[in-house]
Structure 1
């Protein structure tokens, strides 16, 4: 009597949704075995694709048949046994040698005769053809997506795969979180783990609901997909998806990642360390906490101090309390801020310059379009040579990437000089916005982080000596500081305007007494030094 081993398989990446699950196959095969009065000695299941040889459980079935434990196989369909020529050939060979005497399938007729083996061979061939054609169809679909600038895999964080349009769309909520993560990493000294926690709190997690891994955060911050390009199989492609990260922000993040050093856990969150040095010895300024217990009142008071680390040698500088240092910084911010009236004057000038910028940007865009069109012609010529086997694949890929890089640079330049116009005025617009916010920032409370960021944006070369903070104010902020004694905003703006030439913003201190300086310069002349 023939002894059968029942073999059930369903691939984890099975594309045919009509194939029964393993449990479904087993139920059907048990019923079939009872109906046909078959002796089944074992049930073996496997969740693995049959496209390639190397299935452990299937190899076990064949080995047991060679040993003589069984001489028949029961399965749902021949494609459960083999979808490649090697596995199919092994089954046919065992039939030829007589070690395998019978195969039973509820969905396929088989008789161990030359005709039956011929039909089985055709069934195996059809299964292989199905896999091959499916693979080719998938590859063809991927190539078509790449030609259309569509990323053919799972959408990056901040995007989602639209099942209806088959496109990658911006997730209105998560994209804001991703953009904020880019900005936080660029503007704050925070670690990759802190970025991951920030995203977790804002509902961006792994598929299992966990916090993102550090490598996932790094991949996100380095992914050029966010600025409209992607790399697939060694080739660069221009994406057709919408972007929400600017090229300038992306480049800042890349630079920050190159210089990034994992911050040490200091235990305390002192905001004014890391950028101030000792004026006497040049060592870094650190901060520490000292508790003091008062017996008379039976209470403990904690004092925070900033002091020289003395890492470069002996130093006679004394400590300064955090309250005293904060007071000096708030006073500095207040004196380098731009009054509301001055802000309105500059906003008006900015609007006038934007109109002029838009006109010149339009003319430049036409020139860039012509250059891009020429590169596209070169790309088409290169593709024709590749398809006609005139150009080698490696040379084609290299030249295509070179042309793509040139097109990308031209497109970047076009975006800067295109519809937005006035984009070059953005640095100055940011300056006056930052300067305007200073006054409100100085009045607010519990905002040490914002104060530290604002101070570092406004100055450099910070030194602490004799309990006084000294620094070099950056262009623009130095003028606002040196004109703080003038009677009104118009007078301060006049000084800022008059001296905004190629040498930088701000008049020499000895010239500040000159009255009635005219509004001579426009914001465009400030771009060089901001």
Structure 2
């Protein structure tokens, strides 16, 4: 007696589509089995791609055939069973050994004869060709999009995929939320967790409605897509999408992120080391952790103390708790703050200078434009060398990435000059803004790395 295993498969993880498709296949197979008077011992279903190996339910089908629990398979089409040469070969081998007697498909004729097995092998080969060709077409389409400066993936937060034009456009609502998040973080008083809560408050969350993971938020704040750079695979491309984030704001956020990162190769990351020397003997200042135990109240508590190394001679200076040192540094930074009225006055004067400077910035723009043209020629020569197999693929990617980043940098400078005049105006404006932010840095909490960085600039000038 021929006993059939009914196998249904759908290569998607979307549950609603999966249920409808699988149910539809089951209904069709039941109707076909009734019509052909086939005995079905069980229905096995799964939602996995057949392109790659390792489908657990398919392997279960093979094991049941090998154990003799069934000796035939019923499925909608051969491509439901296999889209790769190994799984297709397993089916043909079981037919050759006689463990698999028959295959039935409502949409495909099969007879267990040399001619039938030949036609089955062709069907498996066509299925494999289909997925291989589809994969190559997708890769080709992605490369074409990247050459046009379009990201072939889901748009980052603040952008939306335009299905009609197949481009990425600015989301008029979420772009303002993302920009505000960058502005909040650039002020130096917000943590990554604060930004995640800000996103949740305004509807940028996981699908479940929960806050974005901190790593996700950090990736958003570090995503160069917001300044026109597309990272895809191991290569960098120049994006053509519209920008809603000023490059200066993005750069400021990157500096804060870098300042807050802790070195991972140090056992202890003492925030305020290297800022000063002992005023009495001139030796360096070191730091150490002291462990104290409060059995009845707080348990084990760690305190950080700073003290003179006393390596040159006897020194009478005692240790200082990190909290007290931080208070002194905040006071120094606060005193160095530029009053808002002064900052406003200087910025107004700079704006006037900028208006005059714009008339004299053509030479710089011409210079940078010439550099961009040179880079374009280098990229063309590099591509020719790669296509002629003169340049190694790894070297090609490395040099291409360097040239694209340099090209985007020059274009950014050209845009900055067009907007703000010559470079010194931008540097002066940045200095005034940083000096005006000193009070905020002094008042902020949990920003020891940023405070240390700012204080270092003051103490060593």
Aligned positions of 1:215-226 closer than 5 A: 215-226=215-226
The residue correspondences of 1:406-425 to structure 2 (distance < 5 A) are 406-418=406-418, 421=421, 425=425
Q: 2: CA distance between counterparts of 1:224 and 1:432? A: 26
Given that residues 13 and 47 in structure 2 are in contact (C-alpha distance below 8 angstroms), is that contact kept between their aligned partners in structure 1? no
SS at match of 1:204: coil
Cα distance in 2 for residues equivalent to 1:394 and 1:431: 40
Shift in Å at residue 401 of structure 1?
Answer: 2.0
**Could you say what secondary structure the match of 1:21 adopts?**
helix
Question: Is 1:137 paired with 2:144?
Answer: no
Taking the aligned partners of 1:261 and 1:136, their CA distance within structure 2 comes to 40
Aligned to 1:377: 377
Deviation string 1:200-231 (CA, Å, 9 cap, x unpaired) is 11111112211011111111112111111122
Matched, 1:235 2:274: no
Runs of 4+ in 1 over 3 A off after TM superposition: 17-20, 309-315, 335-340, 349-352, 419-436, 448-453
CA distance in 1, matches of 2:59, 2:213: 38
C-alpha spacing 1:43/1:424, structure 2 compared with 1 (3 Å): same
Alignment of 1:50-69 (within 5 A): 50-69=50-69
TM-score by length of 1: 0.65
| Unaligned runs of at least 5 residues, structure 1 | 263-279, 282-308, 316-331, 437-447, 454-459, 462-470, 475-528
Relative to structure 1, the CA distance from residue 179 to residue 423 in structure 2 (aligned partners, 3 Å threshold; closer, same or farther) is farther
SS for the counterpart of 2:236 is strand
Q: Alignment partner of 2:156: what SS?
A: coil
- Partners of 1:11 and 1:337 lie apart in 2 by 61
Decide whether aligned partners of structure 1 residues 217 and 394 sit closer, same or farther in structure 2, where only a CA change above 3 A counts.
same
Question: Structure 2: how far apart are the matches of 1:88 and 1:261?
Answer: 51
C-alpha distance 145-427 of structure 1, shift in aligned 2 (>3 A): same
SS at match of 1:259: helix
1:380-399 paired onto structure 2 within 5 Å: 380-399=380-399
**Is the 8 Å Cα contact of residues 157 and 175 (structure 1) preserved in structure 2?**
yes
Alpha carbons of structure 1 residues 229 and 369: separation in structure 2 relative to 1, 3 Å: same
- Once residues 377 and 356 of structure 1 are traced to their aligned partners in structure 2, the CA distance between those partners, rounded to angstroms, is 34
Map 1:273-352 to 2 at 5 A.
Answer: 336=339, 338=341, 347=348, 352=352
SS in 1 for 2:260: coil
Bigger shift: residues 80-89 or 393-402: 393-402
Q: CA deviation at 1:166?
A: 1.3
The one-character-per-residue Cα deviations of 1:361-393 (angstroms, maximum 9, x if unpaired) are 223212221221121111111111111222221
Give the corresponding residue for 2:92: 92
Cα offsets for 1:29-86 (capped at 9, x unmatched): 1111111110000100111100012111111111111111111100011100000111
The answer to whether 1:44 aligns with 2:37 is no
Structure 1's 66 and 188: CA in aligned 2 closer, same or farther, altered over 3 A?
same
Q: Secondary structure at the match of 1:206?
A: coil
Q: Whole-Å Cα distance in 2 between the matches of residues 165 and 386 of structure 1?
A: 32
Question: 1:273 maps to which residue?
Answer: none
Change (3 A) 1:37 1:370: same
Report the RMSD for the aligned CA atoms in angstroms. 4.2
Name the CA distance, whole Å, in 1 between partners of 2:340 and 2:136.
64
CA contact under 8 A between 2:149 and 2:241: conserved in structure 1? yes
Aligned to 1:442: none
Name the structure 1 match of 2:260. 260
Following TM superposition, by how much is the alpha carbon of 1:354 offset from its aligned partner in structure 2, in angstroms?
3.0
Q: Which digits, 9 at most, give the CA deviation of each residue in 1:420-458, with x for residues without a partner? A: 54785467678999999xxxxxxxxxxx979957xxxxx
Mark the structure with the bigger radius of gyration.
Answer: 1
User: TM-score, length-normalised on structure 2?
Assistant: 0.74
Alpha-carbon distance in structure 2 between the residues aligned to 1:428 and 1:177: 29
* 2:361 partner SS: helix
Q: Distance in 2 between matches of 1:449 and 1:374?
A: 44
Closer, same or farther in 2 for the Cα pair 1:393/1:350, shift >3 Å? closer
Aligned partner of 1:189 in structure 2 is 189
- Give, in whole Å, the separation in 1 of the partners of 2:352 and 2:161: 42
1:94–1:222 Cα change, 3 Å: same
Q: Structure 1's 200 and 424: CA in aligned 2 closer, same or farther, altered over 3 A?
A: farther
Whether contact under 8 Å (1:228, 1:240) holds in the other structure is yes
Partner residue in 2 for 1:26:
26
User: Residue 402 of structure 1: CA displacement?
Assistant: 2.6
The total of aligned residue pairs comes to: 399
Question: Are positions 1:106 and 2:109 aligned together?
Answer: no
Unaligned 5+ runs, structure 2: 263-278, 281-303, 308-316, 320-334, 445-450
Residues 429 and 27 of structure 1: is their aligned pair in 2 closer, same or farther, counting only changes over 3 Å? same
Q: What's the offset of the Cα at 1:111? A: 1.0
Deviation digits for residues 89-120 of structure 1 (CA, Å, limit 9, x no counterpart):
11111111111111111111111111111111
Measured against aligned partners, the alpha-carbon deviations of 1:285-315 in whole angstroms (never above 9, x if no partner) come to xxxxxxxxxxxxxxxxxxxxxxxx9987899
Please give the per-residue CA displacement for 1:182-215, whole angstroms capped at 9, x wherever unaligned. Answer: 2222213332111100111111111221101111
What is the alpha-carbon distance in structure 1 between the residues aligned to residue 65 and residue 443 of structure 2?
Answer: 76
Q: CA deviation at 1:146?
A: 1.1
1:358 Cα offset (Å): 1.4
Instruction: Determine if contact 1:375/1:403 at 8 Å carries over to the other structure.
Output: yes
Map of 1:83 onto structure 2: 83
CA separation of 1:362 and 1:419: change in aligned 2, threshold 3 A: farther
Aligned mates of 1:240, 1:106 — CA distance in 2: 49
How far the C-alpha of 1:338 sits from its partner, in A, is 3.5
Distance 1:55 1:193, change over 3 A: same
